Chains A and B, each alone.
Chain A
Amino acid sequence: DQQVKQNSPSLSVQEGRISILNCDYTNSMFDYFLWYKKYPAEGPTFLISISSIKDKNEDGRFTVFLNKSAKHLSLHIVPSQPGDSAVYFCAAKGYGGATNKLIFGTGTLLAVQP
């Protein structure tokens, strides 16, 4: 049962344009979400997070939007740079007795073309 889904396995964007990465989740009890970036053969690095009490959080070129009614979040990268090419994972914090769990999606490979 994939509770956090990233339905686009890959995305290609031109340098300087906006990259939009999407993530859907199934459980309305999730209340904290994160985005990570991962290069091959390395551990993921944290990018940005958002609590369910907000619908937007911004950090430099990265903005995360949360639509609770649609159980959907997205990561916007503006402007996109070649160094942004990596796999991006969204993650959700567990709830109830599992608040210490961190559940990841399947990832989206972003390729930023020069």
Chain B
Amino acid sequence: SQQGEEDPQALSIQEGENATMNCSYKTSINNLQWYRQNSGRGLVHLILIRSNEREKHSGRLRVTLDTSKKSSSLLITASRAADTASYFCATDGTGANNLFFGTGTRLTVIP
């Protein structure tokens, strides 16, 4: 299977704290994308990092990519209750024209 793994499966933090989620994958990739899903609804695209990039920022989000370890991390700084959601990484594999998703991390931010 090309599905990636994410850890932790669930994370509960206080508002204002930082949240870090990790993603590991198995194949060579063109890019890796992070998504947020609120309560079983559609996916919202957060950020894309290409295979030749090591770090990317977008607002309170910071994504790193280590292709040698086939892993990525998503850091959300100064978390808010509205960040409560499930977060998924998805890899766009070399030679593939679609995304394969990780298992997801369920983040709960306590006000």
Q: Do A and B bind each other?
A: no
